[in-house]
Amino acid sequence: DSIAGVWQFIMECGAGLGLVLILRWYWWRINAWTEIAATIAPFIGYALAHYALDWAFPNSFFFTVGFTTVAWVTTMYLTNPTPTYTLVEFYKTVQPGGAWKPVEMRMDPTDKVETPSILKLFVYWTFGIGIVYGSLFAVGALILY
């Protein structure tokens, strides 16, 4: 019934999805069913929090995040992982960091690619942040002056 209420609804119905969308790049076990569960579960959690438990924001938000997390983790372990061939091809193309060791161990030794060190990735990340912020401030300066 207000703009604040709409924003709270949007925030609660996206609760818990962000973690899956980030972790899918770092954990080989997350599959499409996991993402589908993380997309649908917040709506169920929202309905439970607001209508069954009669909780208001922010308590309903925290409940929805927890509910969604339990839903996608359960779904992840109850469904089959992505086929090994697909995971190996993805790993060869993207070379993601994180918990991809089981996929790397299934690869042909001749296909293994050396991944960049954490220090190198940190330096690249720092440069990327600097470029983005520098561009934002440069455009702002051009517009305002």
Are the C-beta atoms of residues 15 and 64 closer than 8 Å to each other? yes
Question: What pLDDT, in 10s, does the model give residues 37-58?
Answer: 999 999 998 889 889 888 888 7
Per-residue pLDDT at 143: 92
Per-residue pLDDT at 12: 82
Are the C-beta atoms of residues 104 and 123 closer than 8 Å to each other? no
Instruction: Tell me the β-bridge partners of 27.
Output: 99
Instruction: Please give the structure tokens belonging to residue 60.
Output: 């309903």
Q: Is the pTM of this model over 0.85?
A: no
